[in-house]
Each structure stands twice: as C-alpha cells, then as structure tokens.
Chain A
Amino acid sequence: MTRPWFHVPLGALAVTVSLAGAALAADSFIVVQSTTSTANSGLLDAILPEFTEQSGIEVRVVAVGTGQAIKNATNGDGDVLLVHAKPAEEKFVADGWGVQRFDVMYNDFVLVGPSADPAGVKGGSDIVAALQAVAKSESVFASRGDDSGTHKAELRHWGNADIDVKAASGGWYRETGSGMGATLNAAAGMGAYVLSDRATWISFGNKDGMEILVEGDDKLFNQYGVILVNPEKHPSVKAVEGQTFINWLIGPDGQAAIADFKLDGQQLFFPNAE
C-alpha cells in the first residue's frame, strides 16, 4: 500500500474548515469602524469588555483612518462609526449615510518633533506660528497624507498658516500616506516634525529623540463623534445593537469608562457627551 502524502493536507482542510465554522459562530456582534487613535491607544480594549458584559453584544473594531472608516461605513461595512473629523461626520449624516451624530469625547493634537528643534518652536502654544516657523526653516515635516481626521486637521492648520504644502511635497513636506503610528515611526527616522493626537503619542513606544514641542492651542482641540450607520441605506445594519452601543458610550457608564482609562497615569480621552 502506498501512503499518498496529500492525505495530510486534506486532513488539515477538515480540521481548519471546522475551526473556521466555530470562529464565525458568534451570536450577537456589531462592527465599529473606528480610528487608529481609539484602538491603538488601548481605549477600546479597555472599555469594550464592560459593554459586552452588560449587553451581551460583542464589538468588533476595524481601526483605520477616519477617511477610510467613513468610506467603509458608506459602503455598509459597519454598524457604527466612531471617528474624529466633525465636518466630515456631519456631511456623512447630511448625505443620509448616518442616522445622527453624537459627541463622545475629546482630547487634543500636539506638535511633536526632534528634541534638537531646528525650527525653534519648542514651548510655544500657537500651532499656526509654529507651522510657519517649520515652513520657513524648511525643517522636515511628516504628514499622514491619508485623509484621516488628523490629516484633515493638519491641512486646516497649514491653511490658516497660509502655506502651500503641496508645493513642498517631496521636499521638506513628506506625506507618508499611512497611519499615525507608521507616520510617527517615519518622523522618528527622519527627525521630522509631525502632528499627532495626544493619545497615540502617549501610547507610542518608539519616541526615540522626539518630544512634544507645541501644545495647548485651542485650535488643537480634537473632538470624537459616534454615528449609527443608516439602516435605510443598508438594511444589513444592526440598528438595535448599534444604537445600544451608542447609548452606552454616551451614557453615564460609557462616559465613566472613558474617563477611567489612563496610560502612565495620564487620562487620554475626556468624555463630553451631552
């Protein structure tokens, strides 16, 4: 008798297919399209178990940039949107893709850069003046360049500073086209200035020679909002479960959980639902 070796992979197929079935058999879950800052900082991992325990609803988080999260939600690939770009969120609702937008929490953006600070902006609290100094000294600036909430905010500040970054793109202005963490890694490698949300910066493990140089400007306010994807546009949306999650997030329990989340003793997000 011969022993065909291809029996082995077929056995593996039987095992793996049955495993795949088990993995898919979760009874009640929602998909939340969210941003890297909420997921990578550990906030969602910290607060979601409490919600799941109370409600029996599992929350599956897809963490991408705000721009992509909104596009995915527009395609119906999610039940709830939790992002940070208020104008884009309001447009999402106005266009009928979302039901209603709620404020959830805020933190702020910070200008991070090399400790050597070639543009001489350290200690400032005026983001517009700081960006003008960066541009004038042609110090390297790493931009997300990915239509994320942080990227949109950064472009607003450049606009206020009256600087045409498009013209400098590829020169001192470098668009990484990737997430906050990848852009921070790139900035660390290039000795570049970079705009980051504070939560990602605090939880970032590769600070290597970089520090916060400008903070505290009112313009650096970073508001997060939550929206139920409109079930009238996408009947597959789990409206009841999704709204249950939103109600929890903007209710006393969710707001307290957000406030309780600390990293290195620092609170990263400040609840401000009405």
Chain B
Amino acid sequence: MQDFAQEFSLALRLILTGDPDLWEIVLLSLQVSLTAVVIAAAIAMPLGAALAVLRFPGRRAVIVLINALMGLPPVVVGLLVYLSLSRSGPLGVLQLLYTPTAMIIAQVLLVAPIITALTRQTVETLDAEYAEQLRSLGVSRLASVPTLLWDGRLALLTALLAGFGRAIAEVGAVIMVGGNINHVTRVMTTTIALETSKGNLALALALGTILIALAITVTAAVSALVERGEGAEVRHA
C-alpha cells in the first residue's frame, strides 16, 4: 500500500508553500462553486418562497418534482449541458464548452433544486406561523415573500451550504463539460479523479482531505459572518 502519511505531508506542503498549480486548482474550485451557489440562490430562493406562499393548481406536483430534482445525477446534468453547449448543440455558438462558465451552468442546475426545495420548506413553515398576522396587516401573499425570507435567513443559510456542498463535491458534471483541462478547467474533484486514474491513490486521498478542509473552512467562515451580522443586529435593535 502506498504511504499515505508521506503523500499527505506532500499535499499539505504544496498548499502551505503556495504551490501555484495546486492553488490555481483550489481557487478555481471555489470560484466555480461559489458563483454557482450565488446564481442558483438568486433564482431558487424567490422561487422556493413563491412556491411556499402561493396556491395554484398543480402546486403539489411541482413540489414533488422539485424535491425529486434534488437527486439529479450529476452525470445526467453534465450530459444535458454538454449536448446543449457542444458546437453541434443549440447553444454551440456561445463557445462555452470546456470553460469554467460551462461548469458553473452545470452546477447551477444541480444546486438550484436543492435550494428551492429547502427554501420552500422553510418559508412554508414560517408562513403557517405568520400568515394570519401578515394578512391582518394587509400584506398580500406574494408581498410577504421578502419578509419571510428575511425571517428564515438562518435556516436558508443551511440551504445555501447544502447547495455549496453539492457543488464543490461533484465531479460527474464538471469533468464532462469542463474537460478537466490543465490550467483552464481543472478543479479539486477532477484532479482527484485524475490522480486516482493514474493509480496515485495516496495523493488522491490527500487532495480529498484538502477538499474536505476547504468545505469546512467555507462553512465555518460563512457561519462566523452570519453570527457577527446577527450580533450587530441585536446591538442596533
């Protein structure tokens, strides 16, 4: 068996000494996944909230569908995005295949259902609690969306982090639409897949550990920011 400790210390050294190749990969991973989560949230949060407060025929079916889409297989999303962005595909003229943008598009599709479904759940619970109060103040169902979103911000943060976790961890979609091109579209997960296929299992595992550490750092940083924000709010209240 290969020496994990040795490979891990190598990976750690590469990170700490600022190895440009590894840092490029780490930063691209963050750039792609954070952008995807922000874009997905901008679409999914209002959508999820609207779904929670509005009543229309087929609403149940839409909710079931979105819940099911949380389990979208990345490789299927990758295939759909590839077929769309391929030069032979409908969006081929945009020349987006094998770019970070293509990877962001794929991850938005993967992340948006998760944030939509979790937002819907959160806002529906809040709506049940405050609906009467809001109606008595003359606030329409749709107009209550921003208030409810704001009120549920802590739970929604978890939705965002769930989306980020999905994005930063997936490999099936980004390897297909990004192509794992060195210095262009190579991210942490595709690097791990590549090193595994080269039989460098210990190095792959070490990179995996760095990826997990990265996810923990981002989650902790966001949580800390929120707590600070909450603290400020209490002081100013």
Contacts and interface: CB of A to CB of B under 8 A. Distances in A.
A16 B36 CA distance: 10
Nearest to B184: A60
Contacts of A203: 198
A185 to B, nearest CB: 6
B180 interface: yes
Given A5-B229, A236-B87, A185 B196 contact: yes
A73 to B, nearest CB: 10
A3 B229 contact: yes
A9 B196 contact: no
Chain B contact residues (Cβ within 8 angstroms of A): what range?
A: 35 or more
A76 B92 contact: yes
A63 interface: yes
A180 B197 contact: yes
B96 to A, nearest CB: 9
A246 to B, nearest CB: 19
B169 interface: no
A62 interface: yes
A45 B233 CA distance: 53
A77 B87 contact: yes
Interface in A13-67: 13, 16-17, 19-20, 23-24, 26, 31, 36, 40, 45, 60-63
B232 A13 contact: no
Given A203-B198, A206-B199, A3 B232 contact: yes
A157 interface: no
Main secondary structure of the interface of B (DSSP, over half): helix
A184 interface: yes
Contacts of B225: 5, 8
B198 A12 contact: no
Nearest to A9: B38
Contacts of A236: 87, 92, 95
Interface stretch (B51-59, B98-106, B208-216): B98-106
Contacts of B160: 9
Interface in B17-50: 27-28, 30-31, 34-35, 37-39, 41
A10 interface: yes
Interface of A: 1-6, 8-10, 12-13, 16-17, 19-20, 23-24, 26, 31, 36, 40, 45, 60-63, 72, 74-77, 179-182, 184-185, 188, 203-208, 234, 236
